[in-house]
Amino acid sequence: MKKLGRKDIPRDFGERFEILEKLYKHGKVTLKEVSALSEVSVETLAAYFNEKEDDLTATRTIFVAGGAGFIGSNFVRYIFNRYKNYHIINYDKLTYAGNPDNIRDIARDSRYTFIQGDISDASVLNETFETYQPDFVINFAAETHVGRSVFLGVKEFVNSNVMGVVHLLEAVRNYKTPRFVHISTDETYGTLEIDDSRLFTEESPFLPNVPYAAAKAGGDLMCRAFYQSFKVPVIVTHASNNYGAYQYPEKAIPFWTLQALNDEPLPIHGKGQHVRDWLYVEDHCRALDLVLHKGTLGQVYNIGGQSERTILDAARLILKILGKPRSLITFIEDRPGNDVKYALDIKKIKNELAWEPTHEFEKTLPRVLDWYQENPRWVKGVFNRAKQFNAYVG
Ligand SMILES: NC(=O)c1ccc[n+]([C@@H]2O[C@H](COP(=O)([O-])OP(=O)(O)OC[C@H]3O[C@@H](n4cnc5c(N)ncnc54)[C@H](O)[C@@H]3O)[C@@H](O)[C@H]2O)c1
């Protein structure tokens, strides 16, 4: 096994590759296009373009908070498959959204350890840091559902999304962990207008409109303050709406998919004109891998899918893929504080780390819907744990 980097570009490609490199650096071709033309993977290209090798043989311990949720479990699997000598500590409270079935395939491997713990519980957290002395910490743990924060109360959101982050920062500080990545959302930036041509950059102010986003912003600001005050080695990322396998079906895409498969209505807030940027979860994991290993400490990176679509278009696409009638769509009262539009500027991560999304929404969604149809045991398990989801969807 090996390090990936400059030497992995085929020698016989010579000049042609130099031309592709120039075109890529001038934004004339995408990473995906260079990959298709050169038959070199996007991971290897990124190592080449950002001039930092990937050490795939290193022995490291990575502490993943919230690794039993949707994005966290995809990330755990991504790291498990890519870094063969990493020991992964998955620290998760197993709230209603945490699901051991999400990581069942690797649960018994000696490179994987699961600890049921709360990031708001400093004593268990410190014990875990003391035992495992992680080289990396990455935090996915959070209360994540906007609708619940609006309709069910904010206490758990503040506990996990603010205080939990503070406890993690303190543990990273006390145990001198070299690198910590904290995952946040585009929702902290608030909303754009529907016909706005602006994009949110890493410098955009925080203007959250719902308690979920406000609590996330609180955690993000703590990261900034711990870096400024104590030089805690933290990086914050802001991602857009993820879609992919293992997503809890209170979130729009899996919820609508399962509703449509059962010929049940697809509820949509307002007129469905809200615009979201859809990011395939595997593109997100690849970005986080780069940020974790090569990002600059103290910095913030936006991670967007460059796939802005209205909620209505997303729901219609699901119906089209599944061959179901549009009449299943039902419009419901809009949710308070429902942001009109999110769109992220991803120039920074593109220029610094050679990352950009490679999955197009229309081409990738059919595969994602297949996954929900091909995994009835997973779906059944989720439904056995919670009988209904539609009260808070959105
Ligand atoms: N899903 C998205 O579209 C999206 C977009 C941008 C950012 N994010 C952020 O990414 C992260 C992961 O999102 P997700 O969609 O995978 O969420 P999720 O709700 O599917 O999973 C959250 C996980 O965190 C765990 N958890 C919650 N509180 C905890 C606590 N106090 N201690 C330990 N574990 C706890 C849960 O048990 C669950 O396994 C969150 O921080 C979220 O804000 C999500």
For the segment 262-297, what is each residue's pLDDT rounded down to a tens digit? 999 999 999 999 999 999 999 999 999 999 999 999
Please tell me the predicted confidence (pLDDT) of residue 392. 47
For ligand 1, atom 18, the nearest C-alpha belongs to 69
Phi and psi of 184, rounded to 5°?
-130, -165
* pLDDT of 5 strictly over 80: no
Residue 53: pLDDT band (50, 70, 90) is confident
Rounded to the nearest angstrom, the distance between the alpha carbon of 142 and the centre of ligand 1 is: 4
Please tell me the predicted confidence (pLDDT) of residue 19. 87
pTM for the full predicted model: 0.95
Q: How far apart are CA 374 and CA 386, in angstroms?
A: 20
* pLDDT of 50 strictly over 60: yes
Give yes or no for a contact between 264 and 210, defined as CB atoms under 8 angstroms apart.
no
Q: How far apart are CA 298 and CA 47, in angstroms?
A: 21
**113-163 per-position pLDDT tens digit:** 999 999 999 999 999 999 999 999 999 999 999 989 999 999 999 999 999
Both tokens of 347, joined, read 């120039």
Atom of ligand 1 nearest to the CA of 251: 1
Choose the residue to mutate in 70, 75, 278 for probing ligand 1, maximizing ligand atoms within 8 Å of C-beta: 70
Give yes or no for a contact between 80 and 111, defined as CB atoms under 8 angstroms apart.
yes
Rounded to the nearest angstrom, the distance between the alpha carbon of 141 and the centre of ligand 1 is: 5
Contacts 24+ apart (CB under 8 A), 100-105: 100/68, 101/377, 101/378, 101/381, 101/382, 102/68, 102/69, 102/70, 102/73, 102/246, 103/67, 103/68, 103/73, 103/76, 103/77, 105/77
Q: Is the Cβ atom of 142 under 6 angstroms away from ligand 1? A: yes
Atom of ligand 1 nearest to the CA of 145: 19
Q: How far apart are CA 180 and CA 74, in angstroms?
A: 18
Q: How far apart are CA 318 and CA 312, in angstroms?
A: 10
Q: Is the Cβ atom of 281 under 6 angstroms away from ligand 1? A: no
Strand order in the sheet with 275-280: 241-243, 275-280, 308-310
231: phi > 0 → left, psi -120 to 50 → alpha, else beta; which? left
CB atoms within 10 A of CB 333: 8
What is the residue whose two structure tokens read 């992680």? 134
Q: Is the Cβ atom of 241 under 6 angstroms away from ligand 1? A: yes
Q: Is the Cβ atom of 185 under 6 angstroms away from ligand 1? A: yes
For ligand 1, atom 9, the nearest C-alpha belongs to 184
Q: How far apart are CA 10 and CA 42, in angstroms?
A: 14
Atom of ligand 1 nearest to the CA of 71: 16
Q: Is the Cβ atom of 165 under 6 angstroms away from ligand 1? A: no
263: phi > 0 → left, psi -120 to 50 → alpha, else beta; which? left
User: Which positions are annotated as active-site residues?
Assistant: 186-187, 212
For ligand 1, atom 44, the nearest C-alpha belongs to 185
Give the gyration radius of the chain's Cα atoms. 21
Choose the residue to mutate in 73, 90, 95 for probing ligand 1, maximizing ligand atoms within 8 Å of C-beta: 95
Q: Is the Cβ atom of 102 under 6 angstroms away from ligand 1? A: no
Which run of H or E residues covers position 184?
A: strand 179-185
Sign of CA dihedral 185, 189, 195, 199: negative
Both tokens of 33, joined, read 């296009």
Q: How far apart are CA 241 and CA 121, in angstroms?
A: 28
Q: Is the Cβ atom of 140 under 6 angstroms away from ligand 1? A: yes
Write down the mean pLDDT value for the chain: 94
Choose the residue to mutate in 71, 185, 243 for probing ligand 1, maximizing ligand atoms within 8 Å of C-beta: 71
Q: How far apart are CA 225 and CA 298, in angstroms?
A: 10
Query: Which residues touch 228 (CB under 8 Å, ≥6 apart)?
Result: 298
Q: How far apart are CA 185 and CA 183, in angstroms?
A: 7
* pLDDT of 3 strictly over 80: no
**What does the pLDDT average to over 365-385?**
95
* pLDDT of 10 strictly over 90: no
CB atoms within 10 A of CB 42: 20
The strand pairing partners of 267, in sequence order, are 330
**What does the pLDDT average to over 352-368?**
97
Give yes or no for a contact between 292 and 179, defined as CB atoms under 8 angstroms apart.
yes
- How far is the CA of 69 from the CAs of 38, 74, 212, in angstroms? 36, 8, 17
Question: DSSP class of residue 334?
Answer: P
Residue 1: pLDDT band (50, 70, 90) is very low
Choose the residue to mutate in 95, 144, 161, 251 for probing ligand 1, maximizing ligand atoms within 8 Å of C-beta: 144
Both tokens of 247, joined, read 């997503």
* pLDDT of 388 strictly over 60: no
Q: Is the Cβ atom of 306 under 6 angstroms away from ligand 1? A: no
